[in-house]
Structure 1
Amino acid sequence: MSFGHRWPWVFMAMVAVTLGGVLAFGVLETGDQVASVISCLVGLAALCITWLEPRRFGLVDEALEAACGELSAGTRERLRQEVATRGLVFPEPLRVPWRSVDGPFTASPDVVLGRLPGVRRTALRLHGDVMTLADIVGALPARQVVITGAAGSGKTSAAILLAQQIVREGEASLLVDMAGWDPERYSLNDWLTACLTAARPAALPMRHAHAAASRLVEREAIVPILDGLDELPDHLMMQVIESMHEWTRPFILTSQTAEYETAVRATGLTVARALVVRMLPMPVSEIVSHLTAGRADADRRWAPVAARLRISGSLRAVLSTPLMSNLARVAYTRIDSNPSELLELDDADNLERHLLDRVYPHDGAFAWLTPLARYLDRREVRQLDLCGPLIPATWSKLRRLALSFLVFTCYLALMALFVRLESSGTLIEILFEIMLWAGLMICFLLVRLATRGKTQSATPFRFRTRPRRTLGVAAVSAAFMTVFAVMSTSSTLTPQTNVATLLVGIAGFALISAVVGAMAWGSLTEPVAEGETPHPLSAIRWDGWALLAHFPAPLLGTAVFLALQHQLSTFPQNAALTLIVSTVVFDQIPGTAWSRWMIRRLSLARHGLPSDIEEELEKAREQGILRTVGMSYRFQHARVQVHLASATEND
């Protein structure tokens, strides 16, 4: 810790020691002498804690370079696992064709390829398939590419295969979902650092991973796959293009064609020196090869379909996209299935609906996906944000304040009724009153935290006690409150005062102050770091336990204050008021994310989702139907969500 961070501690210690010294060497009575001794001891304790704390150094260059190598190797291994999980190379890669794009939405050929003396290129005429794209991009000066195409055209798969081939030794590569970027929290570079940190190997400590990720991003030794630019709002798409306009690092960006062209037109900027390519429909030979590869008795079962594919029509149009071709391959995996059913459907919409129904049926283990899709569709969102705001963003500030006022009013009214309750003093009634009082406070916290007027997603917290930090806060609290107690009682002391009783009283007060200080906000909890949990629901559970850290400080502090004023009987109502103030003053409170999820679960249950929604979400994620982006779940393909939502509407 530098002196800039130490000076508050040193200053407080010097103040306490000076005060003790002045009191000790003056003409003092017994009480003042006791006060001087206590002050000196407190000051010395704070000073010892300050200088005994070890200095924190950053990683030395050798350790940092080793961490960079371990992190980059871990991301490359993670990318290899992503290829295997998606089945992109088994039984063989799907060779989706592409061609380069010319026109007003791309950089000039000289910018993309590099200028040659005495030569001016006017157009690019590049084409190939996903397995040859790496040869082209790897030879570009900047190794930058934008992959565009229609929904389900294989953009993400092409980007993953490309990144695996163009990443160099010592570089990191990471698949990043653009929908998870929050520009209010991160710049684009800071977000890449956070995502890279989250992808650290299990053996690499978080602090080392963050330092290594910052170094890799700073030296541009990362090839990010920025997937799904079109899933961002229009203003964020423009912000991304403006941020990437002067990038010199290699990258791969994917987007649907129309949305990308609209964003480029709105900004008037191209995306750095990137080569822009467009994914094309697959040829018939590639479709047939993909449908039959690695399947038993495939040639016989798929022969009628292969014959129809040679005739232009809706069947060829549908199966020429990798998404639908893969759905057909999965839907008719069993040897007793009959792909010839597809020949009976001439309309493209009916064909797509038929394939989606076979792979994602409306009954069975994942029947709850249908009401989930409808729930998201009604709110016009793509993701189920576990700790997102419950209050619609369209609400005015006055409307939000009115809701907060209503919550406060109901809470205070219930507390007023509670205070007016008459009790006979029996043990059962006392226990009942304590439970009722605690229940009212917990319900208030749950509703208040869930409906606070914040439009951004809540940050989950976790219990994390750092002994030096906790002891430091406790020492400062004890020092200030001890000096306060001594100064408050010094005028009432007489020579007949019992010194032992006084010492015990001051020591007890200092101990209580230290306990209250140790439980202050920020001493027992800290935000959950990116990638610290295997899935969002784990972070939500941690945040629920961290909510308990919100109680000790206001309750103990209120109790100590009332005890000094001899008004401990008014503790219930004063504690209620303290809790209200604490939810207004502090911006981020542990338990906010958990509170929002608890209330959102009630809403989901009302819309037909199962009570064990947490387990079902994880099963769907493991099956590849859903994926996680930050603290939210979303369908792997938007087309699946649209299909399930529309099917529910038709029903």
Structure 2
Amino acid sequence: MSTPFGKQLRDLRSRAGLSQDRLMERSGVSVRMISRYENTEHLPKRDTAALLAEALELTPDEQADLLAAAGYRTGRAPEADGAPPRAEPLFKARLVEAADKLAAAVGGHWKREVEHRQVLDPDPLSIRWLTDADLSDHWENVLGLQTPGDHTPPDLDGELEQIVEVYRRVPSGRLVLLGRAGSGKTVLALRLVTGLLETRRSGEPVPVVFSLGSWDPAVDLRAWLTAQLLRDHPGLGQVLPDESTLAAALVENDLILPVMDGFDEIAGGLVSDPLEKLNRTARMPLVLTSRAAEYRAAVAKSDVLTAAACIRLTDLTVDDLARYLPRTTVRKSGDGTPLWQPLLDELRSEPRTEAGETLAAVFTTPLMVALARTIYSDTPTHDPAELLDETAFPTPDAVEAHLLGNLVPTVYRVRTEQRRFEPERAERWLGYLADHLNRLGEHDLAWWRLGTSMPRPTRVLAMALALGLVFAFADGVLAGLLLGFDPMQFTGGVVIDLAAGAAVGIAHGLLAKHRGAAFEPSGIQMRLRGARSGPRRNFARRFRIGFAAGVLLGLAYGATREIIRGLILGLDPNTVFELVIVNSLLLALVFGFSAGVTYMFLSLWERPLDLASVQSPAGLIRSSRRTVVVQALLFAPALAAVVPGTVWGLVELLQLLPPRFGEWHWSPWEGMILGLYAAGFGALGYVLGLTAWGQWAVFGRFWLPLTGRLPWAVPEFLDDAYRLGILRRSGVVYQFRHARLQDHLAASYRTAGRR
């Protein structure tokens, strides 16, 4: 049965000649919610009612009547000179504001990255391209023409500083950038992003770089783009009236221009299916980069990218090298000639020697030129003339392996003033990180995924050991302070603590298997004051999540504890089995209900992060740490209060069972003890075992350094590698400087047998 508001909304929509779908497009309120308002007794929030009124283009009096029908009073807006001018709908205004803030954040980030990557120092290395008509779609589709015919295609040839101008010549907004490995595709895409942001006007789409290597084509493209935006910009998680997020709304309303880097890296090169999925979004403007060979192979299996023009990067010339390399240093060789002069003379000589031919084949891509610059121009003791040694470097592969292999030792020996990280150790640690990414099939180095490339049994063991030690330490300190040191009691307590650690480790493994290898950062903050602007209070869903985690923890803890106790006390297997069944079920119900209720009410203090509050990996680590600490401080007293009541209620229910099940006795004191135990160790177990920051703390800050795979100061090491140019930043994750460097370091790590 509909309310007066629902009937009025339906009548006004019919009068305007709008379907529910059309009203959704105008207002941003989902069809499901519109239908719910029109046909049930459900009433909207004030903001939602205002959005619907704006979308229906009502007069001020009609808007006031509709809001009043929803239960909200409003004054009548005075009219002057007839009907007042219509304001932009609130929904669109909010999206424009969010897009403008996102543009500022993205622009600031990539401006810093351009400076860090030395793209413009001392002057951009020449990057040129030609139109690839064979891999472009029909020009009628690119130009958006309705009738076929002989149409003159736009001139898309150009060089680095012309990329924005060239992109604006493509009416469809769909452009493919092709080139071989290291040819400068990413640099060109980055220059396009910064150039578009420099000339962007309010309300225009925001160019955002997405690394396609992490896209699973089985996932809807828009859903994946939304998830990536939420990962890098948690502030876009604010919930709109239709229960979607700002990130989803920006994607759905084409206020995001995806610049998708690395098409050739999707699913290990299985690219025919991804190209088909991309063609289902033919109206979405996008920029795609790919290695030419892989893209051509994908087109042969499927089709070109619909409505997309294609350009192909060309090789560097000797003149390009002569203009660039001498300007990167003022150093001279031993005989007083400019440092790069012998190598350039060899490249210009006619005919070339074998060494000249080898170097000419290598220095055709910006990647190799940039590596050579770092190793020789930026290093006071290295001379590029050594590359002319035909015996040491007989082939282009030998030269490239030399440049890739010397990058890390060079920058760590020369650029690190304090020498905090020794070159040999740094290379080993970077090799582990590269191998970790290759095992995951990714290029995004996310701190919360460290350790997830290990086998699951190893992860569970590491988590159980770490938590058991934490529990035993905390238990030992508290017991010693309150009761004094008793060896027998201490030993028993350690056994129980190790059992609790094993329980949380098992629960971690089961939840990780269900939710994926890693727990993702939540993108929220905890605030005890202020207006609520986060997700709606879906108490039923929150209870289910908390209940499931609590049940897993209770089952694992009850079974582990009773098995260990049975082994210590020498109980017969049948008795142990009965104790495992009974206590596991009891603890599962107690922990499940208590965790469900507690997790449900934690949502009362959750708020989305601000858009500008997290812009780096270190910033997300700090934000996640603050969130879980506050959650633990709220979680502990809530559990201490809920568990005793749950125990009492459960025991009362068990008294109703037939006598053959025995009598149930659980004193209030035992319930309080269990509540205090759950408060302390439950909060610790949640923080360390069931959150992204806890997974990072256990694996990234404890297990991997303990086993020699990473240094103890992991954040400082990653930041140092970034500062030295080995890593780069993309949102809240790191990436290796180039995929070839990642592959080289991973191969060296595996060759050395470090697994």
TM-score (norm 2): 0.59
Counterparts of 2:594 and 2:746, CA distance in 1: 56
- Paired AA for residue 736 in structure 2: F
In structure 2, the residue corresponding to 1:179 is in which secondary structure?
helix
Counterparts of 1:108 and 1:328, CA distance in 2: 41
- CA pair 272-69 structure 1, distance change in 2 beyond 3 A: same
Report the equivalent of 1:16. Answer: none
Report the equivalent of 1:595. Answer: 695
- Paired AA for residue 367 in structure 2: L
Q: Deviations over 1:510-549 (max 9, x none)?
A: xxx9999566564377598697533153355346534566
- CA pair 555-448 structure 1, distance change in 2 beyond 3 A: farther
Report the equivalent of 2:388. Answer: 343
Counterparts of 1:110 and 1:435, CA distance in 2: 76
Counterparts of 2:426 and 2:648, CA distance in 1: 54
Counterparts of 1:328 and 1:98, CA distance in 2: 23
Q: Would the aligned equivalents of 2:237 and 2:246 in 1 still touch at CA under 8 Å?
A: no
Q: Deviations over 1:276-302 (max 9, x none)?
A: 222221011002212122421577211
Is the counterpart of residue 176 in structure 1 residue 277 in structure 2? Answer: no
Counterpart among 744, 747, 750 of residue 643 in structure 1:
744
> How far does residue 315 in structure 1 lie from its aligned partner after superposition?
0.5
In structure 2, the residue corresponding to 1:640 is in which secondary structure?
helix
Q: Would the aligned equivalents of 1:291 and 1:328 in 2 still touch at CA under 8 Å?
A: no
Report the equivalent of 1:162. Answer: 192
Counterparts of 1:169 and 1:335, CA distance in 2: 46
- Paired AA for residue 448 in structure 1: I
Q: Would the aligned equivalents of 2:505 and 2:689 in 1 still touch at CA under 8 Å?
A: no
Where does the alignment leave 5 or more consecutive residues of structure 2 unmatched?
Answer: 1-28, 44-70, 73-88, 414-420, 541-592, 652-665
> How far does residue 439 in structure 1 lie from its aligned partner after superposition?
3.7
Percent identical pairs in the alignment equals 23
Is the counterpart of residue 88 in structure 1 residue 123 in structure 2? Answer: no
Is the counterpart of residue 147 in structure 1 residue 177 in structure 2? Answer: yes
- What are the within-5 Å matches in structure 2 for residues 455-470 of structure 1? 455-461=516-522, 464-465=526-527
Counterpart among 364, 367, 376 of residue 323 in structure 1:
367
Counterparts of 1:556 and 1:7, CA distance in 2: 36
Counterparts of 1:608 and 1:515, CA distance in 2: 35
Q: Deviations over 1:291-335 (max 9, x none)?
A: 122421577211111112223611011111101101111222246
Report the equivalent of 2:643. Answer: 558
Is the counterpart of residue 255 in structure 1 residue 290 in structure 2? Answer: yes
In structure 2, the residue corresponding to 1:313 is in which secondary structure?
helix
Counterparts of 1:426 and 1:225, CA distance in 2: 63
- CA pair 250-551 structure 1, distance change in 2 beyond 3 A: same
Task: Indicate the structure whose relative CO is greater, using CA pairs within 8 Å and at least 6 residues apart.
Answer: 1
TM-score (norm 1): 0.67
Q: Would the aligned equivalents of 2:156 and 2:169 in 1 still touch at CA under 8 Å?
A: no
> How far does residue 230 in structure 1 lie from its aligned partner after superposition?
2.2
Report the equivalent of 1:490. Answer: none
- Paired AA for residue 292 in structure 2: T
- CA pair 526-119 structure 1, distance change in 2 beyond 3 A: same
Q: Deviations over 1:204-256 (max 9, x none)?
A: 99679x97655654443443321122222156773464134433343221112
- CA pair 158-375 structure 1, distance change in 2 beyond 3 A: closer
- CA pair 78-460 structure 1, distance change in 2 beyond 3 A: closer
- Paired AA for residue 339 in structure 1: P
Counterparts of 1:7 and 1:125, CA distance in 2: 60
- Paired AA for residue 296 in structure 1: V
**RMSD, matched Cα:** 5.3
Counterpart among 365, 374, 377 of residue 435 in structure 2:
377
Q: Would the aligned equivalents of 1:75 and 1:200 in 2 still touch at CA under 8 Å?
A: no
In structure 2, the residue corresponding to 1:558 is in which secondary structure?
helix
In structure 1, the residue corresponding to 2:519 is in which secondary structure?
coil
- What are the within-5 Å matches in structure 2 for residues 230-379 of structure 1? 230-233=264-267, 234=269, 238-239=273-274, 241-266=276-301, 268-297=302-331, 300-310=338-348, 311=352, 313-333=357-377, 334=379, 337-344=382-389, 345-361=393-409, 364=413, 365=421, 366=423, 367-374=425-432, 376-377=434-435
In structure 2, the residue corresponding to 1:156 is in which secondary structure?
helix
Counterparts of 2:723 and 2:672, CA distance in 1: 47
Counterpart among 221, 224, 237 of residue 188 in structure 1:
221
In structure 2, the residue corresponding to 1:634 is in which secondary structure?
strand
Q: Deviations over 1:112-136 (max 9, x none)?
A: 3454967336999964433344433
Counterparts of 1:549 and 1:183, CA distance in 2: 40
> How far does residue 647 in structure 1 lie from its aligned partner after superposition?
3.6
- Paired AA for residue 177 in structure 1: S
Q: Would the aligned equivalents of 1:463 and 1:526 in 2 still touch at CA under 8 Å?
A: yes
Counterparts of 1:115 and 1:623, CA distance in 2: 49
- CA pair 443-231 structure 1, distance change in 2 beyond 3 A: same
Counterpart among 713, 716, 723 of residue 615 in structure 1:
716
> How far does residue 356 in structure 1 lie from its aligned partner after superposition?
2.8
Q: Would the aligned equivalents of 2:409 and 2:427 in 1 still touch at CA under 8 Å?
A: no
Counterparts of 1:201 and 1:390, CA distance in 2: 23
Report the equivalent of 2:509. Answer: 451
In structure 2, the residue corresponding to 1:255 is in which secondary structure?
strand
Q: Deviations over 1:404-445 (max 9, x none)?
A: 9x989x99xx99xx9xxxx9x955449958964884476236
- What are the within-5 Å matches in structure 2 for residues 67-146 of structure 1? 67-103=98-134, 105-115=135-145, 119-120=149-150, 127-146=157-176
In structure 2, the residue corresponding to 1:380 is in which secondary structure?
helix
- Paired AA for residue 141 in structure 1: P
Counterparts of 1:371 and 1:216, CA distance in 2: 39
- Paired AA for residue 707 in structure 2: R
Where does the alignment leave 5 or more consecutive residues of structure 1 unmatched?
Answer: 10-50, 53-57, 477-512
Counterpart among 567, 580, 600 of residue 667 in structure 2:
567
Is the counterpart of residue 225 in structure 1 residue 259 in structure 2? Answer: yes
- CA pair 650-438 structure 1, distance change in 2 beyond 3 A: closer
Counterparts of 2:163 and 2:622, CA distance in 1: 39
Counterparts of 1:389 and 1:309, CA distance in 2: 45
Counterparts of 1:307 and 1:241, CA distance in 2: 48
Report the equivalent of 2:621. Answer: 537
Counterparts of 1:148 and 1:107, CA distance in 2: 15
Q: Would the aligned equivalents of 1:110 and 1:120 in 2 still touch at CA under 8 Å?
A: no
Counterparts of 1:179 and 1:87, CA distance in 2: 24
Count of aligned pairs: 544
In structure 2, the residue corresponding to 1:372 is in which secondary structure?
helix
- Paired AA for residue 301 in structure 1: L
- CA pair 519-304 structure 1, distance change in 2 beyond 3 A: closer
In structure 1, the residue corresponding to 2:520 is in which secondary structure?
coil
Q: Would the aligned equivalents of 1:245 and 1:269 in 2 still touch at CA under 8 Å?
A: no
